[in-house]
Amino acid sequence: MQALSALFPPNEFSLIAVILGLPALGAFVNGVFGKRLGKEGVRLMALAAVVGSFLASIVAFLMLRSSEQTQFTWTAWHWLDLSTRNGLGRAPVDVAFMIDRLNSVMMLVITGVGSLIHLYASSYMWDDTRADGGYHRFFAYLNLFVFSMLVLVLGSSLPILFVGWEGVGLCSYLLIGFWYSDNANASAGKKAFIANRIGDFGLLVAMALLVVYTGALDWTGINMGSGGLIEPVKIWPLGRGIPEDSFIPAVVRGFLNTEVNVTAATLVALMLFLGAAGKSAQLPLYVWLPDAMAGPTPVSALIHAATMVTAGIYLICRLSGVFLLSPPAMAVVAVIGLLTALLAASIGLVQNDIKKVLAYSTVSQLGYMFLGVGVGAFTAGFFHVFTHAFFKACLFLGAGSVIHAMHVGIHDTNASQDMRHMGGMRKWMPITHVTFLVSCLAIAGIFPFAGFFSKDEILLHAFGNKIVPPMGSGWQAPDWFGPMLYVGGLAGATMTAFYMFRAYFLTFWGDFRGWKVNPALAAHGHDHHGHDDHHGHDDHHGHDDHHGEYVHDPNREAPAPHESPWQMTIPLAVLGFLAVVAGFFNATMFQHFGLDLTFLHHWLEPVFRGAEYSVKVREGVDLHKLELVFGGIGFAIGCLGIGIAYFVYMMKNGEPTRVLAERFPRLYRLLSDKWRVDELYEATVIGQVDALADSANKFDKWVVDGVLAKLTSAVVAGFGVVLRAAQTGMVHAYAFFMVVGLGAMGWYFTKPHPVLEVRDAGPGKVVLEASAGLGYEYKWHSKDPETPDEDVWSLRRSIEIDAPKDGETKRVRLQVKNAFSRKAIVELEIPTLAAKGGERTSAIQGGNLR
């Protein structure tokens, strides 16, 4: 360990380069040379890259544990300098990374779960024929994702985080649309990308605001400058508001001009939350995550359950100092989290696609995490990220395993994921069954599985916490706020337990509803290709049967589904095991029995130390006493959900749901249509954008193309047609025009064309100046227009005379003679100063009086 510390000093911790570099190398090698490497080579490269990164992460974690430093930093290079408010200071942005107590845990989860899922995917994707050259492309993207995610969590400033943030968004897009030949998959990828962009806008605005109000973008700088965030900011009216003399009635104007002030912290926190809501699929931007299940199942497990979607929670934990300055923003986070949890859970109740159930469950659980961080229980929220990564990844991989087994008999993508076609799978898939059950227990919050501890802690703090505003003044959540969050959370937890066990019972119990199992057929093709024999069927039939309308025929004969190969079951087993034990990393309630199982709490303490000043316990609430009571309630609620699911789907075989659906058909349709949120967006936002795009298109077609381009070109072409007649190519013609022009110029120059100007020259004086010309000579009549001042031709071009008195004008005359002795006369009326009201400047083109 000491040798390692010497090799990697805390302020020059280049081990981060290894952790980051290996997945990047894997992505590069697989992406560029993947075709030549072959599948074996790609698998080796991808796995080696991620496992190597995982091992390096473990080393880094252990070093951090034994070190006295709270963080290790590594600066790759200096990127740019931003000037801060009014250009007074500079906020340097370095390409710098750091490992501290918060992101070291994330790093382990990303690389650890990532390794398991890479192993799983190496088998799952082995015989994929749906996208050409798919295998190396898939692993290039997956490695790139791990790299981007590591950049996201290890970056030591907001811009670096943003680079990773966009990187994971890109990988998410690429992997959702991995089977791009199917239009639905491609548009699901696009939807994810666009929904995320809305969130990214918030993040960018937050960055700009942070530069203005804290003068820094790195974590330490933001925390040090966070005092500047208390400053109030006027957000309405824009500019100076509606002016007094506008046509808008005074009442309306007064209303519109009402000043709205918030603190900068609220603004920054809400903008950050917009970004977090995009990435972590919260209201109103959650709609992309259920559609993201169009990607391959390992992708859903890694990106859309375990890692990327938790980036929003990580962001809030990381900038908890900013969020805590704004109780309103914290309340918004908590309420949005709760609403998302409830909405997604209610949709999950009626979904039939197993991956859709898990997707809505993910949205719901992410809502719980936001509820946790929104009430200031950062450790609890982060703990749920940690446990959720294991059990949800396990659930997704289990679902993938089941779907894979279903492909023996059903080759339609949607039909193979439909739980109505499953049932009784536990007979054939014992390992998948046990791990799925364990994870279901964990997510349902059954003691002593992982989800119990994390969810319980969130609900406990939701009940008891309150956020104290900075300096003790400002908006504060009312007393009923905590209990409301708690009751809502319990309702969501019941639904979670119900729909997860609904999925479990429908999939693994009862009779198999997919097809008629004929064991004689099962012998075909077995043991010929080793582990991947079951993919063989896909090869024959192809994965793309689903283009046609699938008609389910339960009487068709096919071989029995069977357990997945070891590459898929080992990750399941490891994740299932973690789903059981991960809760003990922060099982605070064991303190009542003298057991200190609060590793995570102690570990994260330095990170969230500042929260002590803002996060208090509500008066009259003893969290310590309530902990066991609430634990019992949570357990009971979980059991209740499971009990209902058991009653409905095991004892009554699903009959009560049909009755309910018939009695409340509109409610049922509303739920199965996902509250028609997509339709709402389609009708409002997307419709408006489409209309805007339409009018922009029309403008482009008629105004830009029609008037600006075609009309101008037609005018020029018309001139061309006319002028072309003059372009004879004959030298004489050109010479003739030249001679004519020469003659015209000669005619012009034989006559004088004088211009006379007058301008002020000091008090009471004006200067008259005549233009020069070929041999011009002048005779001035400045006193009397009829008689010249001197009766000789002179070369004096300008004279100075007395200005006319106020209210009077003066007339001057000038005679000009040119080299040909031809004469011209100019007369000018010098205006009075008062009439012109300013400076006296005028000119007159010479007219020939004679």
Shortest reach from residue 726's CB to another protein, in Å: 10
Whose CA is closest to 437, among 398, 493, 405, 388? 398
Shortest reach from residue 725's CB to another protein, in Å: 8
689 lies in the site for another protein, by CB under 8 A: no
CA distances for 348 relative to 410, 548, 576, angstroms: 24, 27, 22
What crossing angle do the helices spanning 481-508 and 623-646 adopt, rounded to 10°? 30
**Of 729 and 838, which has the nearer Cβ to another protein?**
729
Tell me which of 88, 471, 730, 795 binds another protein, using CB under 8 A.
Answer: 730
Paired residues of 466 in beta bridges: 616
Stretch that binds another protein, among 129-137, 157-165, 729-737, 800-808 (CB under 8 A): 729-737
Shortest reach from residue 721's CB to another protein, in Å: 10
E strand or H helix at 75, and its extent?
A: strand 71-83
Stretch that binds another protein, among 67-75, 398-406, 448-456, 732-740 (CB under 8 A): 732-740
Site for another protein in 501-530 (CB under 8 A): none
Separation between Cα atoms, residue 8 and residue 314, nearest integer Å: 26
Shortest reach from residue 710's CB to another protein, in Å: 23
Give the chain's count of helices (H) and strands (E). Answer: 32, 15
**Under 8 Å between Cβ of 189 and 304:** no
**Of 666 and 724, which has the nearer Cβ to another protein?**
724
Stretch that binds another protein, among 299-307, 573-581, 734-742, 819-827 (CB under 8 A): 734-742
Tell me which of 528, 540, 663, 732 binds another protein, using CB under 8 A.
Answer: 732
Whose CA is closest to 402, among 351, 377, 374, 437? 437
Shortest reach from residue 727's CB to another protein, in Å: 6
DSSP letters, 666-735, are: HHHHHHHTGGGHHHHHIIIIIHHHHHHHHHHHHHIIIIIIIIIIIIHHHHHHHHHHHHHTT----HHHHH
# residues contacting another protein (CB under 8 A): 10
**Under 8 Å between Cβ of 450 and 438:** no
**Under 8 Å between Cβ of 415 and 550:** yes
Paired residues of 765 in beta bridges: 802
**Of 750 and 809, which has the nearer Cβ to another protein?**
750
Shortest reach from residue 738's CB to another protein, in Å: 9
Shortest reach from residue 728's CB to another protein, in Å: 5
Separation between Cα atoms, residue 417 and residue 351, nearest integer Å: 11
CB atoms within 10 A of CB 614: 20
Shortest reach from residue 775's CB to another protein, in Å: 12
Tell me which of 731, 790, 838, 839 binds another protein, using CB under 8 A.
Answer: 731
**Of 236 and 820, which has the nearer Cβ to another protein?**
820
Shortest reach from residue 716's CB to another protein, in Å: 16
CA distances for 374 relative to 226, 485, 615, angstroms: 19, 11, 11
Shortest reach from residue 711's CB to another protein, in Å: 24
**Of 249 and 729, which has the nearer Cβ to another protein?**
729
**Under 8 Å between Cβ of 164 and 149:** yes
Residue 266, token pair as written in the block: 């609220």
Whose CA is closest to 294, among 193, 157, 429, 148? 193
Separation between Cα atoms, residue 172 and residue 260, nearest integer Å: 38
**Of 685 and 738, which has the nearer Cβ to another protein?**
738
List, in order, residues 6 or more apart from 311 with CB less than 8 Å away. Answer: 149, 152, 153, 165, 168, 276, 279, 280
Taken in order 508, 510, 515, 516, is the CA torsion positive or negative? positive
**Of 680 and 744, which has the nearer Cβ to another protein?**
744
Tell me which of 220, 728, 750, 842 binds another protein, using CB under 8 A.
Answer: 728
Residue 689, token pair as written in the block: 């954008």
Site for another protein in 696-725 (CB under 8 A): 724
Site for another protein in 781-810 (CB under 8 A): none
Stretch that binds another protein, among 10-18, 395-403, 563-571, 731-739 (CB under 8 A): 731-739
**Of 735 and 843, which has the nearer Cβ to another protein?**
735
Shortest reach from residue 176's CB to another protein, in Å: 60
Tell me which of 252, 581, 709, 735 binds another protein, using CB under 8 A.
Answer: 735
3 state SS of 393: helix
Shortest reach from residue 731's CB to another protein, in Å: 5
Shortest reach from residue 760's CB to another protein, in Å: 38
Stretch that binds another protein, among 220-228, 554-562, 633-641, 730-738 (CB under 8 A): 730-738
Stretch that binds another protein, among 106-114, 221-229, 614-622, 727-735 (CB under 8 A): 727-735
Strands annotated E in 734-822: 755-760, 765-770, 777-781, 798-802, 810-817
What is the CB-side half-sphere exposure of residue 795 using CA atoms within 13 A?
Answer: 4
Tell me which of 736, 774, 796, 811 binds another protein, using CB under 8 A.
Answer: 736
Tell me which of 7, 32, 739, 819 binds another protein, using CB under 8 A.
Answer: 739
**Of 251 and 721, which has the nearer Cβ to another protein?**
721
Tell me which of 181, 727, 750, 845 binds another protein, using CB under 8 A.
Answer: 727
Tell me which of 729, 762, 763, 838 binds another protein, using CB under 8 A.
Answer: 729
Q: Which residues bind another protein (CB under 8 A)?
A: 724, 727-732, 735-736, 739
